[in-house]
Chains A and B, each alone.
Chain A
Amino acid sequence: MIEISKVSKLFNPGTVDEKIALIGINLKLNPGDFITVIGSNGAGKSTLMNIISGVMKPDTGDVSIDGRVITQQPEHRRARWIGRVFQDPMAGTAPNMTIEENMAMAYKRGQARGFQIGVTKARRAIFKEQLAKLGIGLENRFKAKVGLLSGGERQALSLLMSTFTKPQILLLDEHTAALDPARAELITSLTETLVREMSLTTLMVTHNMEQAIKLGNRLIMMDKGRIILDVDAKQKKDLTVERLLGEFERISGRKLADDRVVLG
């Protein structure tokens, strides 16, 4: 179980450029929760992800996993619990290394890396089985350098790499936003399948309202560093894009301003 309590984060504190990224955020993810996160520009969605993954440390408040406070732990140490997929399809894989080498690095997520050979016969069998799940033929291209794959293929590989070792929490930061509609569709359905099969606790930031409504069992809406709406599975069933936009206006008193928002 992941808990974020009273987390605040300021950028450039005390200067004219001071910006409140997060202010007093409380969020509790129950095991198996799949939460989609939406919000306007600068609402603090990415900062929330960065605070959980340890890229940034909060000014106040704590992050804990299974009751263990991990607020002060560096990014690489938290990796044993956290799987991540970035928006940039290039960010989640090493381009000059082969598919199997990338898989081998993901296989050791959060463990000590010693002098054992990375790609062994036994491990290769595991990788093959996992890659086959993607259904895009990567299992037959073990020795191909990842840099030769298309953006969609790389993102599919990133997604597999961060999930197949069953992290306690999976963070998806607009991981379909940089892809064309067909590829985005593929990655979305893969996400759904992988998360369901392994019942991963997931937090997904998206700009696609329809996707936010369709996926997951819970939806939160953020604005100006706060969580302004938390919709559970039951309410989520009757939710539409219009009602969601209406809710935003009602609570924040203005229209949802997001230059990248996709209504569906």
Chain B
Amino acid sequence: MHGWFGGAVELGLLYALMALGVYITFRILDFPDLTVDGSFTTGAGIAAVMISHGAEPWLATLAAFGGGLAAGALTGILHTKGKINGLLSGILMMIALYSINLRIMGRPNISLIRSETIFTGVSVLVIMPIIVIAIKLLLDVYFRTDQGLSLRATGDNARMIRSFGANTDNTKIVGISLSNGLVALSGAMVAQQGGFADISMGIGMIVIGLASVIIGEAIFGAKSIVRATLAVVLGSIVYRIIVAIALRVEWLKASDLKLITAIIVIVALVFPSVRKYMKEKSNARKRSAQLLAKAASESTTAGRNLTKEG
């Protein structure tokens, strides 16, 4: 299976780790984290610099993960200890990372075409499913541990888990850090597969992540963590398939990709609430009609009884 479909699945798997990261902040912690746009490039940049200097590709990928962890931890500290609004702390970190990423990379674009990467000699479609499934399973287990439970509760009812002794500042920092670690890991893999790292490759990444999460949850459901993480991975793949199909439309250009993404997210966000509203309205109408009919039949029988007796 190659051609555009195989390519879409490949990209979906590469970006799935980023989507899992977005899922952790957006859904589990209920924290809209915009650091993602910066930390994705951080991961790509760290991996590209290390690999182009001859480092072992797996080590470079691991270092990228570490860079993402650090970036996320900083956002978490800004938000919890610095008491900065959540959105703003992400934006601040994203902007700061732009300069930091340029420092890491030394120049805006690094080519990896001639370098050995983790994908040298193996198909992306062989290695990525293993990595993505392994990470999904690890996350599933983590979210069932005592620490994972307190992290989930932080997003669900922070006051409650504080009253049971969890330090919600710390759980937030850990969660945001883990999220950006995964985002950076995804960046490192995208760079190695694409053969380059670019300073602007992270722009709009948060929206792509959101699109994957929302599409995945809408199609595959999110009843439990195990189900939701699977949905996010599949959502990332479905997103890439939608994009690939959209780009095969003749009058659309590759540069329209971000607009298409934004529209997908908007539709995915608006559709469920519109559907819910319509459903409630039609239910209410049906039920009212039922009650009216019942009342009408009761009053006629009551009327008849009265006339009979009278």
Residue numbers of A with Cβ under 8 A of B are: 53, 74-77, 79-80, 82, 84, 86, 90-97, 101, 104-106, 108-111, 113-119, 161-162
Within 8 Å CB of A93, what residues of B? 157, 160
Is the Cβ of B163 less than 8 Å from the Cβ of A115? Answer: no
Within 8 Å CB of B149, what residues of A? 97, 101, 104-105, 113, 118
Is the Cβ of A105 less than 8 Å from the Cβ of B162? Answer: no
Within 8 Å CB of A97, what residues of B? 149, 152-153, 156
Is the Cβ of A75 less than 8 Å from the Cβ of B162? Answer: yes
Interface of A is mostly: loop
Is the Cβ of A118 less than 8 Å from the Cβ of B144? Answer: yes
Complex alpha-carbon distance, A105 and B143, angstroms: 12
Is the Cβ of A91 less than 8 Å from the Cβ of B164? Answer: no
Closest residue of chain B to A53 (Cβ to Cβ) is B163
Distance from A250 Cβ to chain B, minimum over Cβ atoms (Å) = 38
Distance from A161 Cβ to chain B, minimum over Cβ atoms (Å) = 8
Is the Cβ of B156 less than 8 Å from the Cβ of A96? Answer: yes
- Interface residue count on the B side (C-beta < 8 Å): 23
Distance from B75 Cβ to chain A, minimum over Cβ atoms (Å) = 21
Q: Choose one: A74, A77, A92, A113; the contact of B150 (CB below 8 Å).
A: A113
Complex alpha-carbon distance, A114 and B150, angstroms: 10
Is the Cβ of A94 less than 8 Å from the Cβ of B165? Answer: no
Residue numbers of B with Cβ under 8 A of A are: 141-142, 144-150, 152-153, 156-157, 159-168
With A53-B163, A76-B168, A113-B166 in contact, is A108–B146 under 8 Å at CB? yes
Within 8 Å CB of B156, what residues of A? 94-97
With A115-B145, A118-B146 in contact, is A109–B164 under 8 Å at CB? yes
Closest A-B pairs by Cβ, 3 of them: A79-B165, A113-B146, A110-B165
Is the Cβ of B164 less than 8 Å from the Cβ of A106? Answer: yes
Is the Cβ of B144 less than 8 Å from the Cβ of A105? Answer: no
Within 8 Å CB of A96, what residues of B? 152, 156
Is the Cβ of A92 less than 8 Å from the Cβ of B165? Answer: no
Closest residue of chain B to A104 (Cβ to Cβ) is B149
Complex alpha-carbon distance, A230 and B162, angstroms: 31
Complex alpha-carbon distance, A259 and B200, angstroms: 60
Distance from A111 Cβ to chain B, minimum over Cβ atoms (Å) = 7
Complex alpha-carbon distance, A93 and B144, angstroms: 17
